[in-house]
Amino acid sequence: MGFLRHPHSHALLLIVTSIVMAMWGSAAWAWGDLGHKIVCEIAYSELNDQARLEVDRLIAQDSEFSSFSESCTWPDHPRKRAAEHFINMPRDFPKFTSPHCPNAAKCLFTGIADDLEVLRTSADDEEKLKSLKFLGHWVGDLHQPLHVSFEEDRGGNKIRESGPCQNNLHSVWDGCIIQKKLGTDPRDVARDLLEDITEADKTQWTAVPVQDWANESYVITRPRLGALLPAGRQQVRLHEHEPHLP
């Protein structure tokens, strides 16, 4: 069944667009459970009535979650489709010009494409529910810069941070920055972030191909981590007042 002929196709397209809009303007803010909930809280709030009804219809069939924002954490507990949570590149990788995985058969690009296709074409609600949860998660992961990073240091997992977070650099981005600078309530944080998003922002963020989402993250990762050696004792300092990559 073609996408345009599917009875819920328009609603599902709006769901995807809202997820993209939620993340494009917030590449520095996700992505442990709290970050993923914030992303999907924003996306849900931007849906029109038709799309929201379709999300609610699918989530109502979920035995574990009662809200879309909570369901976006599902792919991590336990980790499902592990190879598709990130994109690994060599250190001399220039930029993405197409949505193809540089070093593997599967990555975030394939995850997004595969689950978008299920939402577009499937008549199986169980499969669509899984893909809805995966897609919300994938788009969040794609905008966590250290999920679009270097294989050698495992996306910053081998780099220690000696500042206020006291963890590896990947974990700093996954959760510590959000908790210290934005808050711990996903609805409150989502509401605050939404106040800064304009209609022009939404138009701009949703008018680009998926490889540009990855490039936005890589622009953050490459100049900061590209020069670091992937040594187990590699350390960086994160200052309390400015929680950004050095």
- Token pair of 102, please? 């540089």
Q: How confident is the model at residue 160 (pLDDT cuts 50, 70, 90)?
A: confident
Residue range 114-138, pLDDT digits in tens: 999 999 999 999 999 999 999 999 9
Q: Which CATH architecture has domain 3-236?
A: Orthogonal Bundle (1.10)
Model pTM greater than 0.75? yes
227-242: pLDDT as tens digits = 555 544 455 554 444 4
The domain segmentation of the chain, as residue ranges, is: 3-236
- C-alpha 150/C-alpha 87 separation (Å) is 8
Say if CB 194 and CB 9 are below 8 A apart: no
H helices within 151-185, ranges in order? 169-171, 177-181
Q: Which of 232, 135, 219, 220 is nearest to 173 (CA)?
A: 220
Q: Which residues contact 223 (CB under 8 A, 6 or more apart)?
A: none
Give me the mean pLDDT over the 2-25 stretch: 42
Secondary structure letter of residue 81 according to DSSP: S
